[in-house]
Amino acid sequence: MGRRIVITPKVTFEVPVEAENISPDVFANLSLDEIKKLEVYEGNRKRSLGELFEVSEEEGEGEVTVVLDGGFSKVCRVGEGMSFGEILVNGDLGSFAGYKMRGGKITVKGNVGGWLGAHMVKGTIEVFGDAGDHVGASLRGLRKGKGMSGGLIVIHGNAGAEVGAGMVKGTIIVEGNCGPLPGYAMMGGNILIKGNCPGKAGARMTGGKIVVCGRIGEILPSFYIDSIVPSVKVKKVKYEGPFYLFLGDALEDIKCGGRLYVHVGNNPHLSEFKELLEV
């Protein structure tokens, strides 16, 4: 039988709490007392998990399930490097959730902070609220292609800027709107945005696929129009169009390996591209 570990904060946090130890990988071989002694940082103060949180254990299904109840909006780095099990968050979650995640599942019923699933390798993250900036992105300053390299992130709400920056593989699905620069410097993988996007999609991209089903602000001038396609497939699910297909980013790579699909019907201001194709 599996374990189900329930964690509840004792107080409302005013400063960020760095809790990379909240992860099924760490909890798996520890008893409840040992879990309570794990180290977390509240601001710059070193604390133990038991000092800041109520931790209880019950029998459950599956391998290890960690349930986070209550105000976790300031708790960062939950599930860092996790490779199995499940984290279920009944509320909000802070930034860097699922950083360098290698497997398992994180489900968040509320909103999450920035850098969700940054450098993710494998696994699934599902968010029912909104997500912050840099979903599945690579940290600042790194070489291209150091971002998300596998797995699936589904956000049922809106997402912030730079969704999937520097990603190489994997899929990000945003059911709401997203901020500017989705797929910045991406080299592979899929990004599906069902809502609107302010623009600059796919800047510096050299590979991969971005699909914008809603309205997009503008297309970068370094993208070429290729054709109009009737539908597009992401993760074996067909989305009916028609879609403009743009290739780019020409400034980054003359081979123009990146593909940007933009819905025709929702973007009447892009009709000039239609005229270009007819010539």
Minimum distance of other proteins from residue 146's CB (angstroms)? 9
Question: Considering beta carbons, is residue 143 or 269 the nearer one to other proteins?
Answer: 143
Using omega within 30 degrees of 0 as the cis cutoff, is the peptide bond preceding 242 cis?
yes
Which residues, 6+ apart, have CB-to-CB distance to 192 below 8 Å? Answer: 171, 172, 173, 174, 211, 213, 234, 239
Minimum distance of other proteins from residue 129's CB (angstroms)? 27
Question: Considering beta carbons, is residue 140 or 236 the nearer one to other proteins?
Answer: 140
Residues 124/99, Cβ–Cβ less than 8 Å: no
Question: Considering beta carbons, is residue 141 or 268 the nearer one to other proteins?
Answer: 141
Closest CA to 168 of 186, 192, 184, 143: 186
Bridge partners of residue 58, in order along the sequence = 4
Q: How many residues bind other proteins (CB under 8 A)?
A: 6
Minimum distance of other proteins from residue 249's CB (angstroms)? 14
A 10 A CB-CB count for 189 gives: 23
Minimum distance of other proteins from residue 139's CB (angstroms)? 7
Question: Considering beta carbons, is residue 15 or 277 the nearer one to other proteins?
Answer: 15
Using omega within 30 degrees of 0 as the cis cutoff, is the peptide bond preceding 180 cis?
no
A 10 A CB-CB count for 161 gives: 19
Question: Considering beta carbons, is residue 69 or 253 the nearer one to other proteins?
Answer: 253
Minimum distance of other proteins from residue 119's CB (angstroms)? 12
Separation CA 51–CA 10 (nearest Å):
8
Find how far residue 222's CA is from the centre of its chain.
26
Closest CA to 263 of 248, 278, 242, 279: 242
In three-state secondary structure terms, 116 is: coil
Q: x/- string (CB under 8 A) for other proteins, residues 132-171?
A: -------xxxxxx---------------------------
Give the DSSP letter of residue 99.
T
Minimum distance of other proteins from residue 7's CB (angstroms)? 27
Find how far residue 138's CA is from the centre of its chain.
11
Question: Considering beta carbons, is residue 140 or 269 the nearer one to other proteins?
Answer: 140
Minimum distance of other proteins from residue 200's CB (angstroms)? 19
Question: Considering beta carbons, is residue 139 or 229 the nearer one to other proteins?
Answer: 139
Q: x/- string (CB under 8 A) for other proteins, residues 80-119?
A: ----------------------------------------
Bridge partners of residue 277, in order along the sequence = none
Can you give the binding site for other proteins, defined by CB under 8 A?
139-144
